[in-house]
Structure 1
Amino acid sequence: MVAFRDPNGIRPLVLGKRDIDENRTEYMVASESVALDTLGFDFLRDVAPGEAIYITEEGQLFTRQCADNPVSNPCLFEYVYFARPDSFIDKISVYSARVNMARNWARKLPANGKIWISTW
């Protein structure tokens, strides 16, 4: 299995594992931590921007940083829209991120509380 996170960290990627028996370990990569939970895998870590993961059929794990100057510029819509609220992206709770964004937005609202919303 091969997985790669883009060098700008736009989309999330997590790595998990589960032990099948004393001699076998399975690995999993997913865009959200909750996918690991659902299938019984333990969260190992976030895959870094620009990092490649290679897992052999025998279960050997290899990683390599492939980008010269990786940065973390996650897509805002991951936190606002795409991700499940019970997920974590780059060690940040999606639910907490949404609550904090709502609080910050509320501070910018007019004090009189009048907000106009268009309807169709």
Structure 2
Amino acid sequence: MVAFRDPNGIRPLVLGKRDIDENRTEYMVASESVALDTLGFDFLRDVAPGEAIYITEEGQLFTRQCADNPVSNPCLFEYVYFARPDSFIDKISVYSARVNMGTKLGRENCPRMGRSGYRRGDPDPGNLV
């Protein structure tokens, strides 16, 4: 299996593992940490921007940085809409990111709106904030 995270770190990628027995280990890559949890894999780490992961049929794991100047520019929509709230992206809790964005939005906009407050409904995952 080959997995690669784009050199700009726009989309997340995580690596996990689970031991089958004392001599064998399975690896898994996914876009969200919660996918690892659901299938019984332990989170190992976030795959770095520009990094390639290669897992042989025998279960050997190889990694390599393939980008000369990788950067981390994650897509905001991952935190707002795409990812599950119980997931982590680049060590940041999606739930906490949504709460913090909602708090910041409220602090910036509520003074202009007066004491009446500010309410807005968005599509499902956005309702958290």
Aligned counterparts of 2:125 and 2:51: Cα–Cα separation in 1: 49
Aligned length, in residue pairs: 113
In structure 2, relative to structure 1, the CA distance for the partners of 1:106 and 1:3 (3 Å cut) is same
State TM-score, norm by structure 2. Answer: 0.79
Instruction: For structure 2, list consecutive stretches of 5 or more residues without a partner in the other structure.
Output: 102-115
What is the aligned-residue RMSD (CA, Å)? 5.4
Counterpart Cα distance in 2 of 1:54 and 1:61: 6
Deviation of the 1:110 alpha carbon:
23
SS in structure 1 of the partner of residue 63 of structure 2: strand
Distance 1:58 1:98, change over 3 A: same
The list of structure 1 runs, each at least 4 consecutive aligned residues, that deviate by more than 6 angstroms after superposition, is: 103-114
Relative to structure 1, the CA distance from residue 26 to residue 111 in structure 2 (aligned partners, 3 Å threshold; closer, same or farther) is: closer
Distance in 2 separating the partners of 1:75 and 1:91: 15
User: Structure 1 residues 93, 110: CA separation in 2 closer, same or farther (over 3 Å shift)?
Assistant: closer
- Asked if structure 1 preserves the Cα contact closer than 8 Å seen for 2:14 and 2:46, the reply is yes
Consecutive unaligned residues of structure 1, counting only runs of 5 or more, are 115-120
Contact 2:79 2:98 in 1 (8 A): yes
Counterpart of 1:113?
A: 126
Query: What are the Cα deviations for residues 69-116 of structure 1, in whole angstroms up to 9, with x where unaligned?
Result: 000000000000000000000000000000000x999999999999xx
Deviations 1:7-47 (A, max 9, x none): 00000000000000011100000000000000000000000
Equivalent-residue separation in structure 2 for 1:86 and 1:39 (angstroms): 15
**8 A contact 2:86–2:93 mirrored in 1:** yes
* Aligned counterpart, 2:100: 100
TM-score scaled by length of structure 1: 0.84
- Structure holding more helix per residue: 2
